Amino acid sequence: MPSSGSLDFTGRVAIVTGGTRGLGRVVAARLAEAGCAVTVCGRHAPETLPSGVTFRAADIRDPDQAIALVEAVVAENGRLDVLVNNAGGSPMADAATASPRLFDSILKLNLHSAMYMSQAAFAPMKAAGGGSIINIASVSAIRPSPGTAAYGAAKAGLLSLTQSLAQEWGPDRIRVNAIIAGLMQTETAEQTYGDAEAQAAVARSMPLKRMGTGDDLAGAVLWLSSPLAEWVSGARINVDGGGERPYFLDLVGEK
């Protein structure tokens, strides 16, 4: 695992939602490596956790459980400095036939939960003299997302929420930023991109010739949470390896 460099989070406290697996788990581990006391949450406890990371059961789609989670972390640690709203995801679903229940559930996981957690974090962050909230969005928020229309809409809403909260809460020294994550290599990559050959083709199409990793995301989270970014708020940081190649270029090449 790459070093967190000179960033020192000793004495600081963080919550990483969706931090029991995948990208969120790496983010939690890197924050803990830098000295931060980190709590991750989920509906079910993982078999293992990175060193320095603790787990609390919570379904943060429920505002009362989000409040209880934050209150428990503050009671245990005395403060809250960093909130990473990482929980999210969506199955593939045709927009014409997707049920209202599915649409609502995707919005609750990807947008509502971030609002509930941010609201719960506001008071303890204000009491601590400030804090950093980082919303993990997706390229689906800024380009068409066929097959996951509700997910794209939720992540677009998350970008808007980020800028609005940054404006409202800036006077309380609470910074709110968003990371627009690109095509990432995760434990469920096969479900999203296909087999190893398909994933390799996706990687070759990227300007940096690889897909993103949890460490790429974690590096941006660490920077946004640190004093190095103390005048950065309301920002949308693209962590996407240079972006996806425009498909029309391939069509032109076929002529």
- Does the pLDDT value for residue 1 go beyond 80? no
Domain spans of the chain, in order of start: 13-254
Rounded mean pLDDT, 138-154? 93
In the DSSP assignment, the letter for residue 109 is I
Q: Tokens 């689906």, residue?
A: 140
Mean pLDDT of the chain: 91
CATH 3.40.50.720 for domain 13-254:
yes
pTM of the shown model: 0.91
Structure tokens at 38: 């980190």
CA distance 120 to 63: 8
Residues 140, 152: contact at Cβ < 8 Å?
yes
Contact between residue 79 and residue 10 where contact means Cβ atoms under 8 Å apart: no
The 10s digit of each residue's pLDDT in 153-196 is 999 999 999 999 999 999 999 999 999 998 887 766 666 666 77
Angle between helical axes of 100-107 and 149-169 (0-180°, round to 10): 30
pLDDT tens-digit map of 88-97: 999 889 999 9
Catalytic residue flag (residue 116): no
Helix (H) / strand (E) containing 74? helix 63-77
pLDDT band at 81 (very low <50, low <70, confident <90, very high): very high
pLDDT value at 2 more than 70? no
Q: Percent of the chain, pLDDT > 70?
A: 93
d(C-alpha 58, C-alpha 69), whole Å? 7
More confident residue, 193 or 42: 42
> What pLDDT, in 10s, does the model give residues 210-243?
888 889 999 999 999 999 999 999 999 999 988 8
One-character DSSP codes across 195-216: SHHHHHHHHHHSTTSS-B-HHH
